[in-house]
Amino acid sequence: MRLVLTVLLTAALAVSASAGLNPDARMYLDFDPPDGVHRIEEPPDPVVNIYVVLDCLGVDSGINGCTIHFERTFGATAHDEVCLIGFFSGGDVEDPEFGWYIVTQGECIYPDANGMIIVGYVLYYYTGPPGYVKIAAAEVAGKEVLDCNNMTDVYCVADNAGIGADPPPGDPGCYCGPVPVEDASWGTIKSLYR
């Protein structure tokens, strides 16, 4: 009985420990996808495109939509959202309540050969001073992605973007791949319950 309880307890702890730490997708900002450029110096051209990228969706996974909200510190006179995947796009990426929302209206969008979906980009007219833009949770919509089964999932933020300044880090633990565990033998685990 003790052995069965130990196995069940170990399995329950492993599932609950990873469930909250593994979002269903990862979002990041990139000046030049898929190259992972998260910081540029002050540009000579005032027009700057910051791409919004999703990856780590899992095997055969895609999206039907998402919400995006930016908090910006660099100077810009205007911005415009350009959707690259959806049939319907609305809102304002800098609106703290709802953000920018994209809906594909039933057509599931799958990752490309690089394992990513370039959702769109935000075009800024940069005026300075230097600063950053970071992905934040919208007050109402949060950080949500709609999967191909029309289920609402969350995404974590891997990287933000900076112009002439270092961007703030993404969410802690937001990376692709399995959750790391310490190697232990079954004997070591059983000894904890003797």
- The pLDDT tens digits for 60-106 are 688 999 999 999 999 999 899 999 987 788 999 999 999 999 988 77
* Low-confidence residues of the chain: pLDDT under 50: 1-22
Residue 53 lies in a domain: yes
Kind plus residue range of the DSSP H or E element containing 78: strand 76-83
Q: For residue 178, what pLDDT is reported?
A: 58
Q: Which residues lie below 8 Å from residue 64, measured CB to CB, with a gap of 6+?
A: 103, 104, 105, 106, 107, 108, 109, 146, 147, 148, 150
The domain tally of the chain equals: 1
Cis preceding linkage at 34, omega within 30: yes
Q: For residue 104, what pLDDT is reported?
A: 86
Residue 172 lies in a domain: no
Q: For residue 60, what pLDDT is reported?
A: 66
CATH code (residue 138): 2.60.40.680
Residue 9 lies in a domain: no
Boundaries of domain holding 61: 24-165
Query: How does strand 39-40 pair with strand 161-163?
Result: parallel
Count of alpha carbons within 13 angstroms of residue 112, beta-carbon side: 11
User: What secondary structure, in 3-state letters, does 16-71 show?
Assistant: HHHHCCCCCEEEEEECCCCCCCCEECCCCCCEEEEEEEEECCCCCCCEEEEEEEEE
The model's pTM is: 0.78
Decide: 75 and 124 in contact? Cβ < 8 Å: no
Residue 123 lies in a domain: yes
Residue 178 lies in a domain: no
Residue 16 lies in a domain: no
Residue 152 lies in a domain: yes
Residue 112 lies in a domain: yes
